[in-house]
Chains A and B, each alone.
Chain A
Amino acid sequence: MKVTTTHRVGALALASCLTLSACMSSGSSSSGEEGDGPINIGISLPLTGDFSEPGKGVQRGYEAWADYVNENGGLLGRDVELTILDDQSNADRVASDYEKLINQDGVDLVFGPFSTRLVVPAAQVAQDYGFLFVEPAGAAEEVFTQGFDNLFYAAPAVADDHYDYLADAIEALPEGQRPKTAAYAAMDDPFAMGTAYGLKTRLEEMGVETVVDEVYPPNTTDFGSIAAKIADSKADIVVGGTQYQDAVNMIVALRQLGYQPKMAAFSTAPTNPEFPEAIGEQTEGILSPTGYTPEADYPTNAEFVEYYTEREGNPPAEDEANAWTTGQVVAAAVEAVGCADPDPECQQQLIDWLRENEVDTVVGPLTWDSEGRPEGAHLIQQYVDGEIRIVLPEEAAEADLILEKPEW
């Protein structure tokens, strides 16, 4: 009896193996036959939760790109279809989303989510399955030190280099005109901290004294005490490593305390169209690095701005542009290699192609180092006469840099 049982179990195991492999092979052959069907691209985005604001921007960019591609003959002659899931700004959720997209939905390609905290777990999943992973918003250094060999950041520069042009401009000033003290407040988020600390490193090298260095958790709702510390220090320059609501709340709190810095720089928020609506006229002189501006005269940009503006009623912002850039980068690789399917060989060819080639995008020509860092720099924008304009570098400037910020 015992022998029979063992045999039965063995037979059952064998049978299930056969069934399983049959299913798997039928699965792969059917996807092979669907070569003329749409190319399905899987994406998970923070559509709710802390990052819902930029997450929705990225979504608009991706959707506009897909429609634009489909209206212009598709990719490899096939239509592009997006499957977008909501990860609720949650790092566990984003990993299981990509797992599901690749495993269950059988997508052909994946695009990255928004922001470093979500990009890292998502890229890990993509790496495990050998997928190419181009992402629109993971700019912090830690994205590029995890050993990912499938990752490319579709923007001009990594977080630490965002303020490079501003640091250069301050360095070029005669010593007496440079700020002497600086206050830094950054969200406990790799991207936001990266931008502020990138500038901090540069300024400290020039001898600018750090008088406040605050890090706050993303769920901070009250900025009164942080503002009180900064106001008390009377720093010449205030640097915010911010996302959106934290920058707005902090600026209002600083104004309430009567603090008037000579320079004020905040990442991300000022380039957002809601920013002047929330702050009012007191935006004048606020600096912000940006990877994108609709006015840039890169080859495909005018077409993008026109298409997007017609579709959404307003010109694209940075998040939308980075999403579009992600599409452009992947599309360039797909067109050059001539494949778009989940097969590891195809994905590896796409990765290899991007390592060695330059891609023309709406944020300029992009190339990457071996860890996926883009090798460019960010423009510096400033609110001048109520409009956000490029002020640095000088060759791209639309307005002169205001060194002494008017009172806010």
Chain B
Amino acid sequence: MSLFFQSLVLGVLLGGLYALLAAGLTLYFGVMRVVMIAHSAFLILAAYLAWFFTSETGLDPLLSLVVTVPLFFVTGVAMQRLLISRLRPATLTMMSVLLTFSVALVIEGMLGFVFSGTQRRIRLPYSGDSIELFGANIAVVKLIAFGLAAVSLGALFLILKKTQFGQALRATIQHPDAARLVGINTDRIAGYGFGLGLATAAIGGTALALDSTIYPSLHWHWIGPLMAIIVVGGLGSIPGAAIAAMLLGLGQSLLQIPLGTTWAQTIFYVALFATLMVRPQGFFGGRLAQRF
């Protein structure tokens, strides 16, 4: 029983992290029908920057967000304006896979070149600390990562729902032509949307770095599950991705008890196949995030 409860707690924490890591990925697709293979590479890049920041200054890795979030936002806008907007609209989705795949390779190569292939881990005084709750241990680092996920997803939700920029962005997601007709500069909005997605990668990468050992090729282990999450959640829908992330994280954690690690990992792909067969548009998002 205690193992079940402990796994439940771990699953919720894991699901929160997945939700944060997948949020940007679904946003890119929603805004521009871009499949961003490099998203997880940017996560690892942010994790490396957090590690580098801490090992150089000795300060808490969370402080690196002050630099990395704006940096990633600007990088995202630049990447959208300079690279992705050059792709022909007719083949945008397909070609974006190739383009961002190459970006992922460049990032991985640069990380290896600058920081070497040595596996790094941020050494935190509280890395092994935990809080006990009804017999289950909640690791402080995992709780912080969960908190970061909750805060940034909440902020993202507010930005999209309550600000004028958010309205414009949602309009661009729902119907680009109509958005242009009412005077929205959809090119600029798309750039900002992409920047916003990449800014979540900065936060996600830092959250990841708190409790994992990082190395340049780690991003390949992440992109598969994250892609599965956004498809199950409905491409383009952030709440859908968050719900799917939570369910799959919980599922993975709980299935590990009877099935072991190897089979528990397949839940992502089983869910992916099931979604494509039964409800290709995703379970929670509806048609391309129109319900956001």
Contact = CB atoms under 8 A, between A and B. Distances in A.
The answer to whether A and B come from one shared complex is: yes
Interface of A: 47-50, 52-53, 55-56, 188, 214-217, 219-222, 224-226, 228-229, 231-232, 244-245, 248-249, 252-253, 255-258, 274, 277-280, 282, 408
Contacts of A217: 261-262, 265
B152 interface: no
Nearest to B127: A252
Contact of A229 (B3, B123, B128, B218): B3
Given A248-B213, A274-B118, A277-B123, 5 more contacts: A53-B118, A217-B262, A221-B218, A232-B3, A274-B120
Nearest to B128: A255
Given A228-B7, A408-B128, A215 B261 contact: yes
A58 to B, nearest CB: 12
B3 A228 contact: yes
A56 B118 contact: yes
A50 B121 CA distance: 16
Nearest to A247: B213
Nearest to B137: A257
Contact of B257 (A49, A56, A229, A278): A229
Contacts of B54: none
Contacts of B117: 47-48, 52-53, 55-56
Interface of A is mostly: helix
20 contacts: A48-B112, A48-B217, A53-B215, A217-B261, A219-B221, A221-B212, A224-B13, A225-B256, A228-B3, A228-B6, A245-B119, A245-B213, A248-B121, A249-B213, A252-B128, A256-B127, A256-B130, A256-B141, A274-B118, A278-B123
A234 to B, nearest CB: 11
A52 B217 contact: yes
A154 to B, nearest CB: 23
Max chain A CB contacts within 10 Å: which of B112, B128, B142, B218?
B128
B201 to A, nearest CB: 16
Contacts of A214: 260-261
B142 to A, nearest CB: 7
Nearest to B256: A225
A280 B129 CA distance: 13
Contacts of B7: 225, 228
Contacts of A48: 108, 112, 117, 216-217
Nearest to B225: A221
A6 to B, nearest CB: 49
Nearest to A256: B139
Given A219-B221, A226-B261, A228-B3, A252 B211 contact: yes
A278 B121 contact: yes
B253 interface: yes
B258 to A, nearest CB: 11
B72 to A, nearest CB: 21
A257 to B, nearest CB: 5
A204 B218 CA distance: 36
B150 interface: no
Contact of A53 (B6, B119, B125, B130): B119
